A and B are shown apart, each in its own frame.
Chain A
Amino acid sequence: MKLTLKVWRQNNKNDEGRFVDYAAKDVSPDMSFLEMLDVVNIDLVKKGETPIVFDHDCREGICGSCGMMINGRAHGPGRGIATCQLHMRSFNDGDEITIEPWRAKAFPVLKDLMVDRTSFERIMRAGGYTSAKTGGIPDGNTILIPKPVADEAFDAAACIGCGACVAACPNSSAMLFVGAKVSQLALLPQGQAERETRVTRMVAQMDEEKFGSCSNTYACEAECPKGISVTHIARLNREFVSAQF
Chain B
Amino acid sequence: MTMNSNIPEGPIEKKWSNHKFNMKLVNPANRRKYKIIVVGTGLAGSSVAATLGELGYNVHAFCYHESPRRAHSIAAQGGINAPKNYSNDGDSVYRLFYDTIKGGDYRARESNVFRLAEVSGSIIDQCVAQGVPFARDYAGYLDNRSFGGAQVARTFYARGQTGQQLLLGAYAALNRQIDVGTVKFYDRREMLDVVIIDGKARGIVARNLISGKIESYAADAVVLATGGYGNVFFLSTNAKASNATAVWRAHKKGALFGNPCFTQIHPTCIPVSGEHQSKLTLMSESLRNDGRVWVPKKKGDTRSAKDIPENERDYYLERLYPSFGNLVPRDVASRRAKEMCDNGYGVGASKMAVYLDFADAIKRLGSDEVFQKYGNLLDMYKQITGEDPYKVPMRIYPAVHYTMGGLWVDYNLMSTIPGLFVLGEANFSDHGANRLGASALMQGLADGYFIAPYTISNYLASNKFAAVKEDNKEFTEAENGVTATINKLLSIDGTKTVDEFHREFGKAMWDYVGMARNKAGLQKALKILPEIREKFWKEVKITGNAHDINTELEKAQRVADFMELGELMAIDALHREESCGGHFREEYQTEEGEAKRNDKKFAYVAAWEYTGKPGKPKMNKEDLDFEEVHPSQRSYK
Contact across chains for B549 and A53 when beta carbons are under 8 A apart? yes
Q: Is B356 an interface residue (CB 8 A)?
A: no
Cα distance, A31 to B275, chains bound together (Å): 10
Q: Is B99 an interface residue (CB 8 A)?
A: no
Cα distance, A144 to B383, chains bound together (Å): 37
Chain B residues with CB under 8 A of A39: 276
B-contact 0/1 string along A97-126, CB 8 Å cutoff: 000000000000011001011101100111
Cα distance, A143 to B133, chains bound together (Å): 12
B-contact 0/1 string along A208-235, CB 8 Å cutoff: 0000000000000000000000000000
Within 8 A of B (CB), among A131-165: 131-135, 137-141, 143-147, 150-151, 153-154, 157-158, 160-161
Q: Is B552 an interface residue (CB 8 A)?
A: yes
Contact across chains for A121 and B128 when beta carbons are under 8 A apart? no
Contact across chains for A64 and B542 when beta carbons are under 8 A apart? no
| Chain A: minimal CB distance from B258 (Å) | 27
Known pairs A87-B383, A117-B67; A145 contacts B159 (CB<8 A)? no
Contact across chains for B549 and A111 when beta carbons are under 8 A apart? yes
Contact across chains for B276 and A130 when beta carbons are under 8 A apart? no
| Chain B: minimal CB distance from A106 (Å) | 13
| Chain B: minimal CB distance from A26 (Å) | 9
Known pairs A56-B240, A154-B159; A45 contacts B497 (CB<8 A)? yes
Other-chain contact of B164, A41, A59, A62, A146 (Cβ < 8 Å): A62
**Taking chain A's interface residues, is the majority helix, strand, or loop, or is none over half, making it mixed?**
loop
| Chain B: minimal CB distance from A120 (Å) | 7
Contact across chains for B124 and A59 when beta carbons are under 8 A apart? no
Known pairs A59-B278, A185-B131; A137 contacts B141 (CB<8 A)? no
B-contact 0/1 string along A21-32, CB 8 Å cutoff: 000000011111
Other-chain contact of A134, B51, B179, B282 (Cβ < 8 Å): B51
Chain A's closest residue to B173 (CB) is A129
Known pairs A42-B499, A62-B75, A139-B125; A85 contacts B138 (CB<8 A)? no
Contact across chains for B499 and A38 when beta carbons are under 8 A apart? yes
Contact across chains for B172 and A130 when beta carbons are under 8 A apart? yes
Chain B residues with CB under 8 A of A132: 126, 129-130, 173
Q: Is B437 an interface residue (CB 8 A)?
A: no
Contact across chains for B125 and A129 when beta carbons are under 8 A apart? no
Contact across chains for A32 and B179 when beta carbons are under 8 A apart? no
Cα distance, A34 to B384, chains bound together (Å): 13
Chain B residues with CB under 8 A of A118: 66-67, 187
Within 8 A of A (CB), among B20-71: 47, 50-51, 54, 65-67, 69-71
Other-chain contact of B74, A63, A116, A138 (Cβ < 8 Å): A63
Within 8 A of A (CB), among B133-152: 133-142
Known pairs A125-B175, A134-B449; A58 contacts B239 (CB<8 A)? yes
Chain B residues with CB under 8 A of A55: 66
Cα distance, A11 to B210, chains bound together (Å): 11
Q: Is A179 an interface residue (CB 8 A)?
A: no
Q: Is A191 an interface residue (CB 8 A)?
A: yes
Cα distance, A29 to B276, chains bound together (Å): 11
Chain B's closest residue to A143 (CB) is B128
Q: Is A16 an interface residue (CB 8 A)?
A: no
Chain B residues with CB under 8 A of A151: 133
Contact across chains for A140 and B69 when beta carbons are under 8 A apart? no
Contact across chains for B549 and A114 when beta carbons are under 8 A apart? yes
Contact across chains for B495 and A46 when beta carbons are under 8 A apart? yes
Chain B residues with CB under 8 A of A41: 497
| Chain B: minimal CB distance from A125 (Å) | 5
Other-chain contact of B173, A35, A134, A154, A161 (Cβ < 8 Å): A134
Other-chain contact of A45, B67, B273, B548, B552 (Cβ < 8 Å): B552
Q: Is A190 an interface residue (CB 8 A)?
A: yes
Chain B residues with CB under 8 A of A124: 171-172, 175
Most chain B CB inside 10 Å of its own CB: which residue of A65, A140, A144: A140
Contact across chains for B276 and A87 when beta carbons are under 8 A apart? no
5 A-B contacts, Cβ less than 8 Å apart? A50-B544, A57-B72, A118-B187, A144-B136, A157-B131
- Which 5 pairs show the lowest CB-CB distances between chains A and B? A144-B140, A129-B172, A132-B129, A140-B128, A154-B133
Give A residues with C-beta under 8 Å from B: 11-12, 28-32, 34-36, 38-39, 41-42, 44-46, 48-51, 53, 55-60, 62-65, 81, 85, 87, 89, 110-111, 114, 116-118, 120-121, 124-135, 137-141, 143-147, 150-151, 153-154, 157-158, 160-161, 184-185, 188, 190-191
Give B residues with C-beta under 8 Å from A: 47, 50-51, 54, 65-67, 69-72, 74-75, 84, 86, 122, 124-142, 158-159, 161, 164-165, 168, 171-173, 175-176, 178-179, 185, 187, 210, 239-241, 273-274, 276-279, 281-282, 383-386, 449-450, 453, 495, 497, 499-500, 541-544, 548-552
Given contacts A124-B171, A157-B131, 13 further A-B contacts (CB under 8 A): A34-B278, A59-B240, A59-B281, A118-B66, A121-B66, A125-B178, A135-B126, A144-B141, A147-B136, A157-B165, A157-B168, A160-B74, A184-B133
